[in-house]
Amino acid sequence: MKKTALITGATSGIGEATAYEFAKQNINLVLCGRRLNRLKTIQEALSRLTDVHILNFDLRNKQDTLNAILSLPKDFKQIDILINNAGNAHGLDPIQEGDLDDWDAMMDINVKGLLYVSKAIIPQMTARKSGHIINIGSSAGKEVYPKGNVYCGSKHAVLAITEGMRVDLNPFGIKVGAVNPGLVETEFSKVRFKGGKEADSVYTGFKALQAKDVAEVIYFAVSRPAHVNIADVLMFCTAQANSVTVKKQL
């Protein structure tokens, strides 16, 4: 039987690439994000390959998030695979200069939004005693880099929550894992720097991971046999050794 995956943050970057990868593998899709036009365009493109439903909501809003998932039509209600991907960094400032709105955004989206979506979907997985949750963490969840403070904190939280989910959902046979990339060339830095020119140089002088590279690893994880759970993946491009060591040719 065809599986259904719900992907948050499917309007760009890793989430969008994962939607394409899953569609090629004939997985039904529920695609989420705030930019409705993009959701519609992706739905149109992927409907040739699989069944696609779109959900347009801001996952900072608890009620909107719960309502959106409750609104799923019958054919998309059973979520077999949850990809908690939506998130971003907002700002890159030393802690003493950090912006409270940036901190709110990162904790509200990367941590609390992930929890709201999970809360809406986990009960059907525990009832069926099956399901697979993959949280998109980051190398920033494994080490802290200068000025990364709150973003790194949010991603460390994602990893702790992932481990907590894996333990609590173990009696139900639900797989839980995290995929943690280093630098991926997406809209991430445009968001982090609010469209500022600092974003231009983040991925220059080396070949960063592409969203598709991460999507392929996510698909690898969801396509393992029933007894295999990929619990945690840390992936970098070849030029990157850790958060602060990147071999650039300028």
List residues near ligand NDP by CB under 6 A.
9-15, 33-35, 58-60, 85-88, 109, 136, 138, 181, 183-184, 186-188, 191, 211
Closer residue to ligand NDP (CB): 28 or 88: 88
Tokens at 97, concatenated: 């200069």
Least distance (Å) from ligand NDP to the CB of residue 144?
Answer: 14
Q: Please pick, among 20, 116, 151, 203, the residue that the annotation labels catalytic.
A: 151
The b-or-e profile of 131-153 (16+ CB within 10 A means b, else e) is bbbbbbbbbbbbeeeeebbbbbb
Helix H segments across 84-240? Answer: 100-106, 114-128, 149-168, 188-192, 211-222
Helices 36-46 and 13-24, interaxial angle, to 10°? 20
Contact of residue 240 among ligand 8X3, ligand NDP, none (CB under 5-8 Å per partner type): none
Q: Please pick, among 116, 142, 155, 175, the residue that the annotation labels catalytic.
A: 155
Least distance (Å) from ligand NDP to the CB of residue 226?
Answer: 27
Closer residue to ligand 8X3 (CB): 85 or 138: 138
Helix H segments across the chain? Answer: 13-24, 36-46, 62-70, 74-77, 100-106, 114-128, 149-168, 188-192, 211-222
* Cα Rg of the chain, angstroms: 17
User: Among all chains, which residue has been given the structure tokens 């970057």?
Assistant: 13
Contact of residue 91 among ligand NDP, ligand 8X3, none (CB under 5-8 Å per partner type): none
| Residue of minimal Cβ distance to ligand 8X3 | 138
Closer residue to ligand NDP (CB): 119 or 129: 119
| Residue of minimal Cβ distance to ligand NDP | 13
Residue 151 bears catalytic tag: yes
Cα distance between the two ends of the chain: 50
Residue 3 bears catalytic tag: no
Q: Residue 107 has what DSSP assignment?
A: I
User: Applying CB under 6 A, which residues contact ligand 8X3?
Assistant: 138-140, 148, 182-183, 243
Contact of residue 243 among ligand 8X3, ligand NDP, none (CB under 5-8 Å per partner type): ligand 8X3
The residues assigned a catalytic role are 151, 155
